[in-house]
Amino acid sequence: MNYPPCFQDSEAKKEIERLCRENNIDILLLKDLCELLNEYSGMGRKEGVIQDIEDIIDRFIKRS
Amino acid sequence: MYLSKVHLENWRSYEDATFNFKKPNGRKPLILIGAMNGHGKTSFLIALYLGLFGKFGLRYCEGFTQDPENNPFYRKAIQLFRRNSANADQPSLVEMVFSPTLQDTDFQEVRIVRRWFFDSSNRPKLGEAFETVEIYRDDRPIKVQDLEYAHDKIEKLLFPAHIMPAFLFDGEQAQMLINNSGAPGIKKAVEVMFGTKIIDDVHAQIEQYLNICHQKLGGKKQASFKEQELSSKTSERQRINAQLTELQKKHIEKEKEKEEIENSRKEAMERLTMLGGQKALDVKKLGEELLMQEQNKSTAEKNLTDTVRHLGLALSLTRLGTPIENRLKSEEIREKWERLRESTMERAEQVIAVAVPEPPSSDELLGNLSQEIRDRVKDRFKRALQQIYNPPPNGCADSYLCGHVKGEQRHVVFDLLCQVRAQNASDIRQKAKKLKEAREIYEETIIRNERLTNLPDEVNELANQLDSFHSQIDEAIRRLNSIENEIKKLKGDLHNLNSEIGKLQEEIASMEPQQKRIAVAERIHRVLTELSDKLRPIALNHLEELVTHHFLLIADKRFKGRIKFPKDAAPIFEFQTGKSQAIDIMSGFERRSFGIAFSLALAEITQKRVPLIIDTPLGNADSKYRPRLLQALTDVALDQIIILTHDQEVNGELLSSIDQKVSQKYLVIYSDESNASSVFENSFFGEQK
């Protein structure tokens, strides 16, 4: 897994954790979405990205 | 990742040359590539720029920064970089291999081969036939549709193109790094490498996802009662958000306004200080000082008068004091002597009456003498008595010169003389000094009084202005507090609304899977909206801290403070004293130091283990800077640092000091005979094998 460095920075991580807690989602959901968009980065047309987002959200709903 | 191979064909002076770099082991991150000027150092760096990102990389090549998007210009540039004696049918080629280090668990080897083709006249081929790129991942080719796709793919596999000059750069191009580190450059670098760009991308995609979901549900007309309520709450939230944005804007404006008034007040205060002298901080103080100086003036005048009076008496008596005192003493002796003599003579008749008693009949001894004889005896006794007081005692005055000063009066004069004698020369000098000082203070007071009395209008005007500024600042603070309260209240409302929306979404979500997804997506949207704003200042703060850290290790000791990246402006160095200096007007080596510090900081903040390749990092640095800069380079936790250098840069003691951190050395030598540069591994200046 290759997440953006902000997920490893202690100060940034605290903010991310606080916001996730307040909005009742988990960090994994954000990490998955970031990784997905990283995969799609550099592509002009991001075909299939909406379906992939939905899959990630479904995985979150299932595990929560 | 580290650069494990660079292969160049028909590239400037390189006919066919390969550099194979060993896997870094952590203790020895340095690789030295030595070459004299014109033997192939910069060609090596340019090969990396163009080999990696082709046309885009041209903007970072020295002398080609203008019009980088111009395609014919790019072809011409490549023609210039092509080896001039290359065979027409042979392309110019740059091949690079980036391999994983031990720490790179999820990085696979990336090989990029870029070729440029030329026609039989050695002119760049037209159209797509000019340039090709091959990309391999773990030796497996990646299908590359076109050059644009290749560019995106390389960015994704390695690092973004526009941060390339932060890791691969010519020491002379430090200015470019400074420019790139300005607002747009720094924003891009931090966004991409700290991850905020991806956060923004996710945010945009989630927004799109939400729109699509709503469309799938048939729009808001078809929405259920709950959805209508949700829609109404969402609209309310949008309204509050807009209101909040407006208030925050007003808050910033008001802050600015307050700052301007404070600056004007400061100017007025400075003007007032100039008018009233150093101690006159405002009109009230000026008035107080005027009064005080007037009092000082009166005291000085009194002191002056007293001092002169005392000084006059002292001066008149000082020289004649001793003779007068001596004279008075001798006259006092005379006076005592005369008094004693007169008193004795007054009693002379009684003494004679004892010696020659009357009548003669009572005088048994001399009674028979005639009266005449008896009178003569009495006269002799009298003369004998008088003889007791002759001559007068020692120190007795012959006559009275100060006959009018007698008895008690003489003692008053003695006391006065004592007082005068006590006022010796130093006492008189001190009094004279005090007199001079008093006169100076007095004159200064007069001048200041005159100055103040000549400037009442301007001073009063300034005082009025100051009063007005005070009121305006009070008003601005009052307004700011009021806006802050409004913002606080709105944020509270927003928080409540968000919880209500959340609850509604949960309720709706329990009805339909799609609505459940919408509820989650809404929450993700909220997180990302706030996160994006929170992460930027954190990233920027880290970057400032790290650039400062590295810069201070390299730069002169007089630099005490912090590097700042102001919004929409070039970076500055803010000294502890409060003064600041723009980096781009610093000396050449300080700019170079900043460039290197910036690269090292970016490498740390982004945690990208990108190889750092620097062409002539020391340049014309003096003997103090050289070891510090090299030390800074070797101290940072990077896997691979390739230094391109010449024989006068890293040599002698400097080379010995870093030798234990050097894993490989190369020497590039250009030969006129073969018209080509040859690469010698394990060789360096003075160590040729």
pLDDT digits (tens, 9 = 90+) for A8-50: 888 888 999 999 998 889 999 999 998 888 888 756 567 788 9
pLDDT digits (tens, 9 = 90+) for B513-530: 887 888 899 899 989 988
Give A-chain residues touching B534 at CB under 8 angstroms: 12, 15, 19
Range 142-171 of B in CB contact (< 8 A) with A: 151-153, 155-156
The distance of B589 to chain A (nearest Cα, Å) reads 31
* Chain B residue with Cα closest to A26: B524
Distant-in-sequence contacts of B505-512, Cβ < 8 A, 24+ apart: B505/B230, B507/B226, B508/B224, B508/B226, B508/B227, B508/B230, B511/B224, B511/B226
CA distance B199 to B186: 17
- Interface check for B526 against chain A (CB to CB < 8 A): the answer is yes
The distance of B457 to chain A (nearest Cα, Å) reads 57
Query: Residue B581 pairs with which residues in a beta bridge?
Result: B573
Give A-chain residues touching B521 at CB under 8 angstroms: 53, 57
CA distance B597 to B635: 12
Give B-chain residues touching A16 at CB under 8 angstroms: 527, 531
Contact B205 A11 (CB under 8 A): no
Adjacency order of strands within the sheet including B580-582: B561-564, B572-575, B580-582
Query: What is the SS3 assignment for B9?
Result: strand
Give B-chain residues touching A8 at CB under 8 angstroms: 607
Residue B322 has pLDDT above 50, yes or no: yes
Residue B568 has pLDDT above 80, yes or no: no
Model pLDDT, residue B174: 55
> % helix / strand / coil in chain B, to the nearest 5?
60, 15, 25
Mean pLDDT along residues B66-75? 65
Q: Which helix (H) or strand (E) holds A64?
A: none
Mean pLDDT along residues B254-271? 84
* Chain A residue with Cα closest to B495: A22
Model pLDDT, residue B619: 76
Range 185-204 of B in CB contact (< 8 A) with A: 193-196, 198-199, 201-202
Q: In total, how many domains does chain A have?
A: 1
pLDDT digits (tens, 9 = 90+) for B186-211: 566 666 666 777 888 899 999 999 88
Q: Roughly how many angstroms between the first and final C-alpha of chain A, as a whole number?
A: 21
Model pLDDT, residue B424: 55
Plot region of B123 (φ>0 → left; ψ -120 to 50 → alpha; else → beta) = beta
For residue B426, what pLDDT band results from cuts at 50, 70 and 90? low
pLDDT digits (tens, 9 = 90+) for B434-481: 666 766 766 776 676 666 666 667 777 887 888 888 888 888 889 889
Give A-chain residues touching B152 at CB under 8 angstroms: 41-43
Give B-chain residues touching A57 at CB under 8 angstroms: 517, 520-521, 524
The answer to whether B476 and B484 are in contact (CB under 8 A) is no
Side-chain half-sphere CA neighbours of B650 within 13 A: 29
* Chain A residue with Cα closest to B605: A5
The residue that leads in pLDDT, B418 or B332, is: B332
Q: Which of B137, B157, B534, B604 to mutate to test the interface with A (most CBs of A within 10 A)?
A: B534
Model pLDDT, residue B258: 86
Instruction: Quote the domain boundaries for residue A21.
Output: 5-63
CA distance B322 to B314: 13
The answer to whether B124 and B75 are in contact (CB under 8 A) is yes
Residue B573, φ and ψ in degrees, nearest 5: -105, 120
CA distance B81 to B98: 23
Q: DSSP letter at B401?
A: S
Within a 10 A sphere around the Cβ of A1, how many other Cβ atoms? 10
Predicted ipTM of the assembly: 0.96
Spatial CA neighbour of B141 closest among B117, B109, B94, B116:
B109
Residue B362, φ and ψ in degrees, nearest 5: -85, -10
